[in-house]
Amino acid sequence: MTESVEERTDQPPAVSAEGSGALSQLAQLFQLPPTHPLFEEAITHPSLANEQPGISDNQRLEFLGDSVLGFCVSEHLFARFPAENEGSLTRLRSQLVNAESLARWGMQTPIPEVIRLGKGADENRLKQSLNVIADAVEALIAACYLYSGLSGVREVCASIVEFGLEKGHSGQLDPKSELQERVQAHGAPSPIYVILETQGPAHQRWFRVQVCVSGQPAGIGEGRSKRDAERDAARKAIEAGWPLPDPITEPPNGE
């Protein structure tokens, strides 16, 4: 009797009726049965797998999904913008598939509600984390590809592209490029990015980066790659109003 109680304690929390509805909605969006092992794996964060040996997290699927997404988005943009050159298409693809854009799309799906986290995880922070949501999106794309093939996953990736285009990403600069242009317009030297911290094993590395403008700290960002962390830091610097306007000085007496 005691053994059965301990076994139940080790299992993930039971899903509520409301949560079950969200699971079904998300599974349908990615053309997967809600009880399929690929779907369960895709929404399992490493924090849960670390606590419960034998459960697979979504990192392997995320690895595959990154490549599948890149191909499908490239194919979609190639067909949608026949007059654009390679450079323009590359920049646009980069803006549409980076962690920030994927997380923005993922936030308007049930992913934050159904992501499976460990008991010791900071649930509120992780469910709003750009990288956690972006990883889940890519993992679900891989699961969709493995279950439904290219025809099915193309529909999902097209939805991500169109969502990004509707939000105006096609006309937006990368945050690092935008900050660079703002700083140059003020006649200041280029921003400097400094790695403050790295965490995790090689295949799950996290970076914390600070951007400095004119020698002053302007923003701190985090990401699963150095580039993503730098972009996040630049975005926060822009949101904070950097580069700040030059201080107003009083003219010398007599002028």
Reply yes or no on whether the pLDDT at 57 is more than 90: yes
Active site residue 66: yes
| Predicted pLDDT of residue 19 | 54
pLDDT band per the 50, 70, 90 thresholds, residue 15 = very low
Residue ranges of domains in the chain: 15-171, 175-239
Q: State the pLDDT at residue 7.
A: 38
Query: pLDDT higher for 18 or 164?
Result: 164
CA–CA separation, 30 and 19 (whole Å): 17
Average pLDDT over residues 200-225: 87
The tens digit of pLDDT for each residue in 78-119 reads: 998 888 889 888 888 988 998 888 999 999 999 999 999 888
At the top level of CATH, the class of 15-171 is mainly alpha
Which percentage of the chain shows pLDDT scores above 90?
A: 47
Measured at the CA of 120, the angle between CA 116 and CA 124, to 5 degrees, comes to: 65
Could you tell me which residues come within 8 angstroms of residue 199 by beta carbon, excluding any fewer than 6 positions away?
A: 205, 206, 208
Residue of 138, 174, 222, 230 marked catalytic: 138
Q: Spell 88-125 as b/e; 16+ CB within 10 A means b.
A: ebeebbebbbbbbbbbbbbeebbbbebbbbbeebeeee
Q: Which of 51, 66, 84, 123 is catalytic?
A: 66
Residue 52's Cβ-count burial label (10 Å; 0-12, 13-18, 19+) is: middle
Annotated catalytic residue 84: no
Name the architecture of domain 175-239: 2-Layer Sandwich (3.30)
Q: What does the pLDDT read at residue 213?
A: 94
Confidence band for 201, pLDDT divided at 50, 70 and 90: confident
Predicted TM-score (pTM) above 0.75: no
